[in-house]
Amino acid sequence: MGNNKNNFWNEAGKGGLILACVAIAYFFIQLLVGKGQDGGAFVKVMNFVLWAGKFALCIWLMARLLRAEATDNGADRRRTFRFGMAVAFLSALIYAGFYMFYVSVIDTDFFKEAFDAMAAGLASQLPSDQIDAFMNMESSMPVFSFVGNLIWCFLIGTIISAIVSNKYCAPSNPFED
């Protein structure tokens, strides 16, 4: 029992690391594309194409991981779904931690530029105390982004796991012992 549980988490960890590496690579490619241009239509289209490619690749990788769990280990639908949830959670945790580290330590001005641009646009519409309150949120953005990325990635991975586990696993027979 213990070895089977360890194998489950080892495989889930490997899968989560692979998915997180795909998301991190997408993040760096998106940074390079965004800094290479002035933010025109080309950059927006390129970012969408990159996002769609990353999303499709992550779905494909998750499907392969769950299919391997279902076929190689003979897992039923419930175990395959739980495996997918574990992969999704570990992947989300790694990516969210990386993102928080990046915006907190490596590029500390990551949110400052966006907040300054938004404050300049809102300056004529809001009183100065509301602008100040808005600007005070900037210091909390790394934590908000960590929680947001963790929830978003986990939810999407869980939904994909539910769909894929239903596809690759036969329903369990409730009348069997």
148 falls within a domain: yes
In this prediction, what percent of the chain has a pLDDT beyond 90?
A: 38
Count CB neighbours of 42 within 10 A. 12
User: Element (H or E) spanning 45, and its range?
Assistant: helix 41-72
Position 1 confidence tier, pLDDT thresholds 50, 70, 90: very low
**For the chain, how far is it from start to end, CA to CA, in angstroms?**
19
What pTM does this model have? 0.82
Count CB neighbours of 119 within 10 A. 15
Predicted confidence at residue 97, as pLDDT, reads 95
Predicted confidence at residue 171, as pLDDT, reads 63
163 falls within a domain: yes
177 falls within a domain: no
101 falls within a domain: yes
Predicted confidence at residue 177, as pLDDT, reads 47
176 falls within a domain: no
Residues 63-93: pLDDT tens digits?
Answer: 999 888 888 777 778 888 999 999 999 999 9
Say how far residue 40 (Cα) sits from the centre of its chain: 26
Residues 132-151: pLDDT tens digits?
Answer: 776 777 777 888 889 999 99
9 falls within a domain: yes
Please determine, for residue 6, whether its predicted confidence score (pLDDT) is greater than 50: yes
Q: Is 125 helix (H, G, I), strand (E, B) or coil?
A: coil
Predicted confidence at residue 140, as pLDDT, reads 79
100 falls within a domain: yes
Predicted confidence at residue 121, as pLDDT, reads 72
Predicted confidence at residue 61, as pLDDT, reads 93
Q: How many domains does the chain have?
A: 1
174 falls within a domain: no
Please determine, for residue 37, whether its predicted confidence score (pLDDT) is greater than 70: no
pLDDT, average across residues 148-168:
91
Q: Which domain holds residue 87?
A: 2-168
